Structure formats: structure tokens, C-alpha cells
Amino acid sequence: MTDDMNEADYKELKRGGMMRQAEAGLFSVRLHVIGGRLATPQLRAIREAADRFGRGEIHLTSRQGVEIPHVPQDALAAVKEFLAPSGVGVGVCGPTVRTVTACQGCRVCPSGVIDSPELAEAVDRELYGKPVPHKFKVGISGCVNNCMKAEENDVGIKGWIEPRWEAPSCTFCGVCQAVCPTKAISTSEDGGALIIDPTLCIGCGDCITSCPAGNMREKIRGYRVFAGGKFGRRPSLGRRILGVLRTKEEAMAAILAVLDFFREQGKPRERFGDTLQRTGFPALETFVKEKTGLP
């Protein structure tokens, strides 16, 4: 820390995405990136800023963020001003809702079930930088391949397809049973029907895409919500709450309600997963259901 900066000054800079480096007088400037997506003019502006104010380096963070390291303290304001016309803002730190991570979703990925970037944009508009008891992270996976690790986030979303079997023209070829990774599909005792165990189904949709006769159909396409995950020094996985949500609006309502619960029940500097260890997950699920009316 430089002589002309006290701890209060530093905390204010950190809250605005200016991270003090080990090397005295230098900062790594965290930028605002939504779901890992940047337009090429923004990339050019970031590159030029790194050349002009840093040492020509850019760091890609573990959560799809971008930082410009090696920026002198007296150049911090200039970096923000330089990047603003390109639409690149600085990031946030401290007890706030952090960068929203997302995969490419159904518009790009053949496995995608939901439009992950669209939901990430909505979450960012509503929540980015808002105060909470401790840092709060949202990750959105477009399908059960789970590239964004939904269970490792304070709130995670996962795209989900629930199948249904229809009898006409089914030849009982066994393909759907063979491809099911959790063996959720079985044949009835009389051999005249296929049974899907909802407690084993992981919503991958493999049975639907593999069925040669088209008898495995899509029953529900939507969003699964996970809450209470975190990594860091004491990692723990989040747990699934609610049923399958049908729309982006329902998913957004669930995220907002989870955040309201954290604000009501969380203690300062307590991660959300630790809050849920105190309150129990049923308390969260009851709160979210009552607040939103979601299933």
C-alpha cells in the first residue's frame, strides 16, 4: 500500500474492482464481463488499455472474468475513463453479487437446453453489484453436462429435460435403456410399458434423442435450481431445491427469492452455504415457495 492511501481508501477501490497487487503501488483492474461474452471492439479496447496503462498483459480469471494487472495507482481512474466508450465497466468485489458465469447455451451448443446467456444478462441487470452479507455467485449451465458447475455456486441453474414415454409404435428395442446413464428406465412386469423413475432421471434427454421410433418425448424443458454451493478454503456442494421451472421468469424469481432469504438470514462475512447449514435447506425451500408460488 502506498503512503498516501489508507485502509479505507483501499477498501473503496477494492469494492470497485481495483485489486491491490503484491508489488507495491500496482493494481489489477477487474472488468465487468457477463457470462464470459465480450464483443470484439471491447476486446480491442481491453488490449489497448493493457498496453497503455499496464504491461501488455491480460488475466482471464477462473470465473470468466478479465483483469488488467500491473496498473499504477495513479492510472486507475484513467483506465475506467478509457474503457467506458467501449461499454466495458469495472468489476466488483466485497459483499456483493459477483460476475454471473454462463455457458454458451442452446443458441450455440448442440447439448444446450436453455438460453444461458439470456438468463445471465437478466441476472446481471437485476443483481450485479448489489449488497449481500457476503460475496454471492451465480452460475448457469445450459444442460446437465454442467460446464458451469451449478452446484459450486451460491445459486446455480442447470438446463433440464424430463422425458415421457408414449406407447404407439414402440418396439421395445432397448436403446433408451441402454443410453440412460443412471438406469432410470425399466420395463414393466408385463413387458408392455416403459417406466421412468423420476428419482433417478438426471434430465439429460439422451433417451429422447436416441429413440429410433420417437416414442420418448419431451415432457418438460426447463430449469433446475441449486443453492448453497461454494469453493474456496472450505468447499461444499449446493443442493437442488424446487421442481423443474418452466420459464426464464420463474428461474429469475427463484434466484431473487434465494437472495432475499440470504439477506434476511445471513450474517456479515458468512457465505450462503454456511447460512444454510444453520437454517437448514427446508427453511430456504419453504421461503422460496411461499414468496414465489413456484412448485
Residues of the chain predicted below pLDDT 70: 1-8, 10
Report the CATH number of the 7-86 domain.
3.30.70.3340
Give me the pLDDT at residue 85, please: 97
Give me the pLDDT at residue 8, please: 60
Give me the pLDDT at residue 7, please: 66
Please, are residues 249 and 116 in contact by the beta-carbon 8 Å criterion?
no
Asked if the domains at 7-86 and 161-220 fall in one CATH topology, the answer is yes
Give me the pLDDT at residue 17, please: 86
Report the CATH number of the 97-155+224-292 domain.
3.30.413.10
Q: Closest by alpha carbon to 252, among 225, 228, 276?
A: 225
Q: For the whole model, what pTM was predicted?
A: 0.91
Sequence spans of domains, the chain:
7-86, 97-155+224-292, 161-220
Give me the pLDDT at residue 1, please: 43
Residue 56's region, left for phi above 0, alpha for psi from -120 to 50, else beta, is: left
Domain 161-220 indexed as CATH 3.40.50.1110: no
Question: Coil, strand or helix: which one is 175?
Answer: helix
Give me the pLDDT at residue 198, please: 93
Give me the pLDDT at residue 232, please: 86
